[in-house]
Amino acid sequence: MLGPDGGFARAWLTGKSVVPVPAGTRLDTAVMCRVEAGCRAVGAQHPIDESTAAVAHGVSASVVPRQPTEIGLVAPAPLVLLHTPDLQGAVLFPEPGYTLIAGSEAFLAAAVPEGIDAARARFGRYARAMKKRWPYLQRIATAYPPAHRAWSHPSDVTPGTASARLVSLLGAFTQGTCTAPEFADGWWEARRTTHSQGERASGDLADLLDGVFMLLEEYTPDPELRESGDLTDSELREGVQSLVRNTERGAERR
């Protein structure tokens, strides 16, 4: 899993992604909650705690199952390596200031729910803020940059992306060429893809997508399952149309 330099081995990283996450001088509870979520997502009850020094040099390490809460209470200092029993995901705490969370799409979707790019962008800001204390963080941020820039308006979105699919669905729904259930199903699927691919939005586009999310939280596609207060198909369409108009007006004012 680890190479001679103490980092993740290239062979193990095949088909996986790496996300740097802020940390202190010891492994904290916030990181351990991410580990716990990642483990649950891939069917693991707990991570395996290994000696990074032994693994890096090919020596058989003492493998000890640990509950995430137990590790969080112990708050170990670097070097620390935790991984799922099936090696789908891992967390490396090589030095103070950061951890590297790596793994399969399923593991990272739970361990880094804000999305890969959002987490990488956040780490970049953190690295700049902490450059006097831990100057090496900027090197880590440079090694793991966001794959996508943050789009601020629907017209900025790169064609072929999951975010472009969201914009296309908005157009179809507001123009009446797709039904409310079709819009809802397509929206949730595309939204999940934007997260797994690390796509990000900011400004007007972020506000628009957040507004649609809030509307869909109040909508149930099946009329027989709707409760009092849930949005109807027409109310959902009217709400989305209003959000789109407000976004367009805001862009015109600028």
Instruction: Kindly report, residue by residue over 53-95, the tens digit of the pLDDT.
Output: 444 444 444 444 455 444 444 456 668 889 999 999 999 999 9
pLDDT tens-digit readout, 189-219: 999 888 877 788 888 999 999 999 999 999 9
Per the CB < 8 A criterion, the answer to whether 112 and 19 are in contact is yes
Kindly tell me if the per-residue pLDDT of 106 is higher than 50.
yes
Q: What is the pLDDT of residue 28?
A: 84
Q: What is the pLDDT of residue 51?
A: 54
Kindly tell me if the per-residue pLDDT of 144 is higher than 50.
yes
> pLDDT band at 158, cuts 50/70/90?
confident
CA diameter of the chain: 65
Q: What is the pLDDT of residue 54?
A: 40
Q: What is the pLDDT of residue 62?
A: 44
Please count the other Cβ atoms lying within 10 Å of the Cβ belonging to residue 163. Answer: 25
Q: What is the pLDDT of residue 132?
A: 95
Mean pLDDT taken over the chain: 86
How far apart (Å, rounded) are the C-alpha atoms in residues 176 and 170? Answer: 10
> pLDDT band at 251, cuts 50/70/90?
low
Q: What is the pLDDT of residue 200?
A: 84
Q: What is the pLDDT of residue 71?
A: 47
CATH code for 150-253? Answer: 1.20.120.650
Q: What is the pLDDT of residue 60?
A: 42
Contacts of 91 (CB under 8 A, 6+ apart): 31, 34, 35, 47, 80, 81, 82, 83, 99, 100, 101, 102, 111
Q: What is the pLDDT of residue 87?
A: 93
Is the peptide bond between 79 and the residue preceding it cis, with omega within 30 degrees of 0?
yes
Q: What is the pLDDT of residue 53?
A: 46
Q: What value does the mean pLDDT take over residues 39-48?
A: 90
Q: What is the pLDDT of residue 110?
A: 93
- Look at 2-6, 35-39, 163-167, 244-248 and tell me which has the smallest mean pLDDT: 2-6
* Domain ranges for the chain: 10-143, 150-253
Q: What value does the mean pLDDT take over residues 185-190?
A: 95
Kindly tell me if the per-residue pLDDT of 241 is higher than 50.
yes
